[in-house]
């Protein structure tokens, strides 16, 4: 931990942020993509140019507890590293538990019991110092852990002042200066803490004379300082991981596969189901007078692009995510929720303008107001306790009021009761999966995202929304940028694994290997 003029600026309050994954995948976005037509079958059927590029199947084996624990640690390291790379906002918060949780209740009771014992001991005549000495020992170790390896002078001073053998001798003779030790600890914390904690240190110096209360506050501030140090390290580590993130994540995932050969099971199933779906739908035109169509195998890049598109609408209740996407599950869920809400808003707006027609056309201020109103009423529609039908009923009522107000202000007749009932019924009908407006919007959103995934330069496609989606163009562009950045980074990291799986599924009868080629990412599965 830097001292004095080297104190880190705390990151716990957030840095100047951009979108989560834009910076980490800039190099991914700049890469060009190779279309299926430009890619030869040989790139997926060849055995590779060197032996180390050729994966070998790993036979099933029984895992020991130690191997399972190592795989768990690898997965944890992979998740943390990935979060640091793609999420500029990622930082450690001081440990906090929900107010009504059992763990918080247990922890608070244990802490209260400790502080009660400490106060009772110090109030004895003569005082007992058993718990106080244990406190000082812990504080001493925490302070020492904050030091950089070269901070020898400060290390010597801490060990001399908080000399536990000497303090025990003083305690035996009732000569411990608890207040003096607390003052030294606070002063030392002030030299070590980040600037954002200066106010906390000031409050410690002004704390009341109650020594137990003072030590409770010291420990609270020490916990904050621990988080600051971790965040400072994350801040310094992020540029390194962003430069070496692809290699690190791929190597870490490979180590998980080495210990757990089945770690690509869900990924293989995801790609296999996509391949089967495409194979069923692709047929060759009859030739040579034959009346039968011949089934064609879809191209490997087509398979991968469609598989990525399916991630956007993944049913998390029915199937676990592919292992290669697990580190992005939270981001993918948020993208899906936001997109579902944007689609619903667009569907309602299409129904309004197709039902009411001319009197409300060409009024951007009205369109914006309706859009904001619908968005607010549908906010949180992904929540389990959200009743979409009731929300759409409220949306319909608010819309009818707003339209009548706008119409009367411009000397148009208000909506008739029959038209209001029709409008309400059509808006409520978007809960039905086969609703034509809903189907139209969902299909065109899929077209938009497939264009992003397939395009060599997806940034250009962000502003090119299909007809009928103009109302949510800014929202689509924002969601699309986040999603395509995740896709590009995922493709670069796990491209060799995908290439090996697709190769095995398409051109051989053997199962995919656990060890993909490690140096052919861009040759096998180019990134956008």
E strand or H helix at 355: helix 329-356
Decide: 371 and 377 in contact? Cβ < 8 Å.
no
CB 274 within 8 A of CB 297: no
Report the C-alpha gap between 480 and 473 in whole angstroms: 10
The secondary structure element, H or E, covering residue 284 is: strand 283-284
Q: Which two tokens stand for residue 302?
A: 């087509």
Here the tokens at position 230 are: 């971790």
Retrieve residue 190's tokens.
């002030």
**Going residue by residue through the chain (528 aa), what tens digit of pLDDT does each one get?**
333 334 444 333 333 334 444 444 444 444 334 334 344 334 343 443 333 333 333 444 444 545 444 545 555 666 676 776 666 666 666 665 555 655 556 666 666 676 777 778 777 778 787 888 888 899 999 999 888 888 889 999 999 999 989 988 888 888 888 888 988 999 999 988 888 888 888 888 887 667 888 888 888 888 888 888 887 777 777 777 667 778 888 888 888 888 888 889 999 999 999 998 888 876 544 545 454 555 567 888 999 999 999 999 999 999 999 999 988 998 999 999 999 999 999 999 999 999 988 888 888 899 999 999 999 999 989 888 899 999 999 999 999 999 999 999 988 899 999 999 999 999 999 999 999 999 999 999 999 999 999 998 888 888 899 999 999 999 999 999 999 989 998 998 899 999 999 999 887 754 454 455 444 433 333 333
Query: Measured between alpha carbons, how far is 512 from 498 in angstroms, rounded to an integer?
Result: 10
So what's the pLDDT on residue 230? 80
Distance between start and end Cα atoms, the chain = 40
Q: Give helix 65-86 / helix 211-259 axis angle, nearest 10°.
A: 110
Strands 294-295 and 283-284: antiparallel
Are 122 and 116 a contacting pair, CB within 8 Å?
no
């Amino acid at each position: 931990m830097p001292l004095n003029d080297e104190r880190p600026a705390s990151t716990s309050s957030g840095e100047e942020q951009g979108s989560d994954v834009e910076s980490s995948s800039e190099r991914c976005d700049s890469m060009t993509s190779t279309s299926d037509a430009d890619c030869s079958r040989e790139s997926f059927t060849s055995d590779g140019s060197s032996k180390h590029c050729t994966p070998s199947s790993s036979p099933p084996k029984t895992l020991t507890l130690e191997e399972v624990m190592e795989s768990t640690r690898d997965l944890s390291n992979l998740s943390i590293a990935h979060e640091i790379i793609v999420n500029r906002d990622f930082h450690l918060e001081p440990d906090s538990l929900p107010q009504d949780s059992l763990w918080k209740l247990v922890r608070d009771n244990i802490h209260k019991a400790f502080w009660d014992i400490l106060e009772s001991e110090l109030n004895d005549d003569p005082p007992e110092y058993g718990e106080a000495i244990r406190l000082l020992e812990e504080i001493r170790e925490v302070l020492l852990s904050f030091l950089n390896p070269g901070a020898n002078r400060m290390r010597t001073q801490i060990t001399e002042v908080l000399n536990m053998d000497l303090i025990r001798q003083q305690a035996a003779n009732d000569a411990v200066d608890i207040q003096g030790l607390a003052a030294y600890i606070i002063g030392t914390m002030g030299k070590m803490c980040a600037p954002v904690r200066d106010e906390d240190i000031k409050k410690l110096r002004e704390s009341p004379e109650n020594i137990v209360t003072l030590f409770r506050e010291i420990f609270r501030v020490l916990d904050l300082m621990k988080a600051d140090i971790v965040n400072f390290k994350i801040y310094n580590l992020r540029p390194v991981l962003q430069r070496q993130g692809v290699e690190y994540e791929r190597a870490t995932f490979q180590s998980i596969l080495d210990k757990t050969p089945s770690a690509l099971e869900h990924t293989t199933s995801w790609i296999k189901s996509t391949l089967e779906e495409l194979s069923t739908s692709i047929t060759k035109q009859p030739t040579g007078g034959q009346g039968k169509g011949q089934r064609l195998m879809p191209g490997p890049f087509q398979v991968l692009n469609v598989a990525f598109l399916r991630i956007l609408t993944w049913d998390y209740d029915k199937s676990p995510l592919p292992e290669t996407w697990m580190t992005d599950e939270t981001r993918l869920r948020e993208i899906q929720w936001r997109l579902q809400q944007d689609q619903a808003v667009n569907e309602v707006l299409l129904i309004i303008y197709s039902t009411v027609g001319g009197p409300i056309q060409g009024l951007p201020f009205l369109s914006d107001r309706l859009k904001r109103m619908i968005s607010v009423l549908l906010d949180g529609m992904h929540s389990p306790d959200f009743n979409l039908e009731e929300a759409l009923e409220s949306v319909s009522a608010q819309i009818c009021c707003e339209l009548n107000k706008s119409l009367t202000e411009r000397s148009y007749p208000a909506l008739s009761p029959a038209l209001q009932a029709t409008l309400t019924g059509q808006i409520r009908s978007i809960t039905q999966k086969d609703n034509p407006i809903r189907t139209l919007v969902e299909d065109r959103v899929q077209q938009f995202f497939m264009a992003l995934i397939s395009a060599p330069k997806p940034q250009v496609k962000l502003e090119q929304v299909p007809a009928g989606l103009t109302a949510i163009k800014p929202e689509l562009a924002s969601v699309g940028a986040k999603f395509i950045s995740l896709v590009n980074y995922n493709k670069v990291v796990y491209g060799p694994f995908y290439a090996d799986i697709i190769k095995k599924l398409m051109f051989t009868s053997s199962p995919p290997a656990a060890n993909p080629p490690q140096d052919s990412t861009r040759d096998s599965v180019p990134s956008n």
